[in-house]
Amino acid sequence: MSVILIEERIIHYETLGRGKPLIFLHGWLGSWRYWMHAMEALSENYRTHAFDLWGYGDSDKQGGRHDLDSYLRLLEAFMDQMGILKAPLVAHSLGGILATHFAARHPERVPRLALVSTPLSEAGLNAGAILGRSPLGKFQQKRQITHDIVWQDIARIAPNALDESLASLKGFDIRPLLGQLQVPALLVYGRKDGLVDPGQAAGLEGNNPRVRVLAMDDSRHFPMLDEVGRFNRLLADFLEIGDDLTQLELKTEWRRRTH
């Protein structure tokens, strides 16, 4: 386990592979661990990095610093300390919101952006299911989460982390930020997602060849775990394709690239 200190608080991270840097950001329900398959698949060509946000996994769980601005400082400091001038961001749910804001503030540091199961506005997020406290919210959450690794990570989330992050995002809408970005952006959703509306990105592509929206038929909220091979193949293709994403498609299987 590797750790660094940021703002005098421990941040746990993992790094795998060699090559150009690539950063993975987790979301509300989990930690860096659900990116393991993707990191391993891409480690031949990329030096992959993933870390636990404050309040999650093995990072510091003291009170506070679970809001969007704190996480933006954390991402910037992580990149600085790791000597990463710029890197594509692959981000899930809350991490996708964070990545979009970071790319808007620091466009020179994010050459491309992959958003997975990311709500584009408050209306596209089932906050009750994220919190999982009401009977309905618990029922919806249990239907969506079918992987033990996620349940294990949920049990380790700091008590106020979910509430504080959701409060800091009251009324959020990242669609204008996405519209302003000049870098390739891939948005991936699971058609069976009950935590984030998979239809919210309809029409987002418009006439912009740099934006691609794809839905995975057999995935819920965690496509990187629900359809491991297809997801990893799509991600590898996205990282290697040029700025025009119109030809980017879901393929049936993953084959490790060899040179």
Tens of pLDDT along 178-204? Answer: 988 999 999 999 999 999 999 999 888
Ordered DSSP codes for 122-157: GGGB-HHHHHT-SHHHHHHHHHH---HHHHHHHTTS
What's residue 151's pLDDT? Answer: 95
pLDDT of residue 242: 93
Joined together, the tokens standing for residue 24 give: 């993975």
- Max CA distance (Å), the chain: 52
Q: What is the pLDDT of residues 116-130, one digit of tens each?
A: 999 999 999 999 999
Q: Is residue 256 scored above 70 in pLDDT? A: no
16 strand-pairing partners: 48
What does CATH list as the number for 2-240?
3.40.50.1820
User: Whose structure tokens read 């699971």?
Assistant: 190
What is the model's pLDDT at position 253? 59
pLDDT tier at 240 (50, 70, 90 boundaries)? very high
> How do residues 56-80 score in pLDDT, each as one tens digit?
999 999 878 999 999 999 999 999 9
Residue 113's beta-bridge partner residues? 89, 185
Q: What are phi and psi of 98, to 5 degrees?
A: -60, -50
27 band by pLDDT with thresholds 50, 70 and 90: very high
CB atoms within 10 A of CB 13: 20
By percentage, how much of the chain surpasses pLDDT 90?
A: 88
Q: Which residue has the higher pLDDT, 103 or 251?
A: 103
Q: How far apart are CA 103 and CA 53, in angstroms?
A: 18
Secondary structure (3-state) at 250: coil
What span, in angstroms and rounded, lies between the C-alpha atoms of 210 and 206? 10
Domain range summary for the chain, segments of one domain joined by +: 2-240
pLDDT value for 257 = 47
Task: Give strand pairing partners of 21.
Answer: 47
For residue 201, give the amino acid letter.
A
Q: What is the DSSP letter of 242?
A: -
Query: pLDDT tens, 96-116?
Result: 999 999 999 999 999 999 999
Question: Can you tell me the distance from the alpha carbon of 92 to that of 125, in angstroms, rounded to the nearest whole number?
Answer: 13
Residue 16 · residue 39 · CB < 8 Å:
yes
Computed over every residue of the chain, the mean pLDDT equals: 93
CA nearest to 62, candidates 10, 132, 98, 1: 10
Give me the pLDDT at residue 16, please: 97
Confidence of residue 259 (pLDDT cuts 50, 70, 90): very low
For residue 15, the model assigns a pLDDT of 97
pLDDT of residue 251: 85
Choose the weakest-confidence range: 150-154, 172-176, 202-206, 228-232.
202-206
pLDDT at residue 205, rounded to an integer: 83
The average pLDDT across 207-220 equals 92
Query: Can you name the residues that pair with 2 across neighbouring β-strands?
Result: 13
Report the distance separating Cα 195 and Cα 139, nearest Å: 11
